[in-house]
């Protein structure tokens, strides 16, 4: 009964919010009133169209949204995998200044995967919209939580590293959204040609004494092998949802352009679910086109217990 009541409430909210214009107010963080108003108008128009399209069960009409073709493509790919709506009719958020412009975070979304799956609590997501210095929309991605974002930003106050950490988080969010979008071209671009891909799998062993135990076996793949397997997954699943609920960023002590990013990842599709640790070795020698040299995934539990911290891949496990 509780689940049924929850679904009824969500459906009622859906009807209410999908037909209303969404008012966006930037509370602080930007002094230029003209740019502030432009950002508010762009975001308001975007979110209102999202809800209108969801209510009408149609595709997004980009003729009503003033965004560039890259943003259109990104939103359309995400919409195809899992249409969504904004759950608030009034958004009041702080503006974050980035190296190239501004960001508005904490935009509440309710995802509605394609297929026959009903609403549930796990479909709540948040979006981040980035703007250039003139207030024009530059990107729309699914975000990590504000708490995780601020933990990374505040973990080192040295100016250059702070700017780089902000850039890393932007790419982590773009990387996460790429799986939700099934965006194979972006993943092909972001992995270096010689990228090392390592995937862990739990194997159950039966012993002669009558008991069982588990161990993790690791499989190495090349970039092309990984992308070929991923293409098959994208083609045979209705929707994919990747979430990150913990993150740690470390800069290499000798090579300051290399960063290790460890994330606790949840992966859900209409066919499969797992939780584990994702490690990415990012190379920011070219900030306009950073690349991933190493991607590892490990299950977060073994023999019914949390994977020991010393067994989780980190920056120190790889020679650069």
Q: Tell me, what's the pLDDT at 278?
A: 96
Query: Residue 257 above 70 pLDDT?
Result: yes
Determine if the pTM surpasses 0.95: no
Q: Tell me, what's the pLDDT at 99?
A: 82
Q: Tell me, what's the pLDDT at 19?
A: 55
Q: What is the mean pLDDT of the chain?
A: 87
Q: Tell me, what's the pLDDT at 118?
A: 47
Q: Can you tell me the distance from the alpha carbon of 141 to that of 242, in angstroms, rounded to the nearest whole number?
A: 12
Radius of gyration of the chain (CA): 21
- Per residue in 78-107, pLDDT tens? 999 889 999 899 999 999 998 889 999 999
Residue by residue, DSSP assigns 145-205 as -HHHHHHHHTT---HHHHHHHHHHHHHHHHHHHHHHHT-HHHHHHHEEEEEEEEEEEEEEE
User: What value does the mean pLDDT take over residues 289-318?
Assistant: 92
Query: Residue 176 above 70 pLDDT?
Result: yes
Q: What dihedral angle (degrees, nearest 10) is formed by the CA atoms of 165, 161, 251, 268?
A: 0
Query: Residue 153 above 90 pLDDT?
Result: no
User: What value does the mean pLDDT take over residues 166-188?
Assistant: 93
Of 81, 43, 87, nearest in space to 59 by CA: 81
């Amino acid at each position: 009964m509780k689940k049924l009541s929850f679904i009824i409430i969500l459906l009622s909210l859906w009807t209410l919010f999908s037909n209303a214009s969404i008012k966006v107010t930037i509370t602080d963080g930007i002094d230029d009133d003209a740019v502030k108003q432009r950002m508010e108008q762009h975001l308001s128009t975007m979110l209102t169209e999202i809800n209108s399209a969801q209510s009408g069960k149609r595709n997004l009409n980009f003729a009503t949204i003033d965004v560039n073709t890259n943003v259109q493509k990104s939103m359309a790919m995400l919409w195809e995998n899992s249409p969504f709506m904004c759950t608030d009719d009034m958004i009041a958020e702080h503006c974050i200044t980035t190296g190239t412009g501004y960001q508005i975070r904490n935009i509440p979304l309710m995802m509605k995967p394609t297929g026959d799956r009903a609403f549930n609590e796990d479909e709540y997501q948040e979006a981040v919209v980035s703007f250039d210095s003139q207030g024009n929309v530059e990107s729309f991605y699914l975000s990590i939580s504000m708490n995780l974002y601020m933990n990374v930003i505040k973990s080192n106050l040295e100016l250059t590293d702070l700017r780089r950490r902000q850039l890393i988080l932007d790419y982590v969010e773009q990387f996460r959204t790429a799986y939700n979008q099934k965006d194979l071209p972006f993943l092909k671009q972001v992995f270096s040609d010689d990228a090392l891909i390592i995937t862990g799998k739990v194997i159950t062993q039966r012993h002669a004494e009558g008991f069982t135990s588990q161990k993790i076996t690791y499989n190495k793949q090349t970039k092309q092998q990984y992308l070929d397997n991923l293409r098959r997954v994208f083609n045979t699943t209705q929707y994919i949802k990747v979430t990150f609920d913990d993150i740690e960023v470390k800069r290499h002590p000798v090579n300051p352009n290399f960063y290790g990013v460890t994330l606790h990842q949840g992966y859900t599709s209409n066919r499969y679910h797992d939780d584990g640790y994702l490690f990415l070795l990012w190379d920011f020698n070219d900030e306009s086109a950073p690349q991933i040299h190493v991607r590892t995934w490990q299950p977060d539990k073994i023999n019914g217990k949390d994977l020991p911290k010393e067994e989780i891949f980190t920056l120190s496990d790889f020679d650069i």
